[in-house]
Structure 1
Amino acid sequence: MQLGYSFCPNDTFIFYALAHGKVAAPGPVTEVLEDVETLNVWALEGRLPLTKISYAAYGRLRERYVALRSGGALGRGVGPLLVARGPLDALRGKRIAVPGRHTTAFLLLSLLEEGFTPVEMRYDRIMPAVQAGEVDGGLIIHESRFTYPRYGLVKVLDLGEWWEGETGLPLPLGAILARRDLGEAAIRALDKAVRESLEYAYAHPEETVAYIKQHALELEDEVIWAHIRTYVNDFSLDVGEEGERAVRELFRRAEERGLLPTSRQPLYL
């Protein structure tokens, strides 16, 4: 079975054991590593049976996919950042680089602000583009959160802080989705396998390092482990009741604004 996830340290940390046969799974698992927006687009096509996804994209996929309770990225202090070369007095009319129209980052900025012009590019291209003046600002995710000062950029807005202040809830960023046509038994077995893969990584962190560095765009140990500490947490083991409430609130706000379609399908099994 193909499993899609990003080359970011939080994903390679979580899925190391599953991809290398260290934990039991319903069948052989083959990893497919790609940029998160590529995975979002592939999921809209139904390409992979099991895949990491932005929660914003999941809002459009609830009829075909269901989220696993384990393996996701939710939390506090994890929000996408809007950065620029200097302060921005307003976003209206500004060209803002975004990591994809199906990312949670873009959905959050769209909920907060209107009138900006999104310029799509892969997330690791955003900071150089802002630095070079190709765009007025950039919406950064993943390890960029820790490295943007190296590009002479300043933080204009922390969308996680905005979300937490508005809702009091953790921010849902990404989930692991399984195609509903796999059947309930297989999906529950996959959920268990993902949780056990993360538990294995917690128990053997040193064993994951070579795999993480094989795929990471930033190779410094400090950046890698800061990334993992930020995006891998108790919500990654199980989304929990609070995490579910956060996802429902994100979808409710987006549906009210016409940014996501409605669905009656359950979010989780």
Structure 2
Amino acid sequence: MEISVGHTPDSDDAFMFYGMFTGKVVSPDFTVKHVIEDIEKLNRKATNPELDVTAVSVHACAYIPGYTILRSGGSFGIRYGPIVTAKKQMTLDEIKKCKIAIPGKMTSAFLLLQLMIGKFDYVEMNFSDIPEAVRDGKVDAGLVIHETQLSYQQEGNIKIVDVGEWWDKETGGLPVPLGINVMKTSLGMDTIHKFDRYLQESIQYGLDNLDAALDYAMQYSRGKPRELIEKFVKMYVNNVTVNMGDKGEESIRRLFEMAKQKNLIPEFGLSIAIK
């Protein structure tokens, strides 16, 4: 069957899908049409289900009941995650009073920062525009994701908060739930499990063929050097990406429990593919 698969124009997503999209890993069950969009656009598309499979922020799952979370393809930080950057050091109280640029209201980064510091004044913009907005003083601080978590110094800014470090301490070491892949529940659990295994094989193929997968991923480097992209990919394509396991599933459920307690999300019913 032909299915549509959405992923972001980011090197870690490209790395995961390298085997699948280049035909190195094939499936007797699926032919894939891929759609590339920024994560916040994919989040919004998923609220009115257009794609059969799509990458989304974990936060977005509170608003997309028509999808089931796949066990493979997740981006989880291990004691690190989105960071807040600024031009100068600030205390936590000062950060709470800032106007902060965020990469989208449905991103997990935004939800995690709200859990950490409470509600704050923000402005939405494309994630790649945030470093410049911080550097030029258009905002007081910026919540940055993707490879800009690593390049902030070159962009003239400093790190003032690591949201992933906060989450790690708050939860006793659970991985930081950021992005996942979901599939339309209406396609049925048998089809979902088959595609989940297909994606898992693609991710493992990338890990087993690191240099070739990185070569493929560099088309989404946005001008960043290969060493930085390799570091970024290795941060967010890890064992929890191949299969989220019990810890990954627990971290997603914990995120939603904490968010619900603070009335940051509506009532939700998570559907995660069984093991």
Q: TM over 0.5, yes or no?
A: yes
Give the partner amino acid of 1:51.
T
Residue 95 of structure 2 aligns to a residue whose secondary structure is coil
Equivalent residues in 2 for 1:59-70 (5 A)? 59-61=62-64, 63-70=65-72
Tell me, yes or no, if the aligned pair for 1:218 and 1:224 is still in contact at 8 Å.
no
Aligned sequence identity (%): 35
- The one of 207, 215, 218 equivalent to 1:213 is 218
Q: CA–CA distance in 1 between the matches of 2:80 and 2:117?
A: 19
- Root-mean-square deviation (Å): 1.4
Residue 245 (structure 1) aligned with residue 250 (structure 2)? yes
Q: Corresponding residue for 2:134? A: 130
Instruction: Report deviation, 1:60.
Output: 1.9
Asked whether the equivalents of residues 78 and 231 of structure 1 are also in contact (C-alpha less than 8 Å), the reply is: no
Q: Which amino acid aligns with 2:222?
A: L
User: Contact 2:80/2:162 (CA < 8 Å) preserved in 1?
Assistant: no
Select which of 254, 258, 263 maps to 1:258: 263
Distance 1:14 1:209 in 2: 10
Q: 1:53 aligned to 2:56?
A: yes
Query: Residue 134 of structure 1 aligns to which amino acid in structure 2?
Result: K
How far did residue 111 of structure 1 move?
1.1
2:209 is aligned to: 204
Superposition TM-score, scaled by structure 1 size: 0.95
TM-score after normalising by structure 2 = 0.93
Residues 134-166 of structure 1, C-alpha deviation per residue, up to 9 Å, x if partnerless?
000000011011100012211111000001111
Partner amino acid for 1:132?
A: D
In 1, the alpha carbon distance for the partners of 2:101 and 2:110 equals 10
Q: Aligned equivalents of 1:102 and 1:264: distance in 2?
A: 17
Q: Residue in 2 aligned with 1:111?
A: 115
Distance in 1, Cα, partners of 2:9 & 2:70: 20
Q: CA deviation at 1:10?
A: 1.0
Q: Deviations over 1:10-49 (max 9, x none)?
A: 1101101111222233221122111111111111121111
Shift of 1:120: 0.4
Residues 93 and 115, structure 1, Cα contact 8 Å, conserved in 2: no
Distance in 1 of aligned mates of 2:99 and 2:269: 36
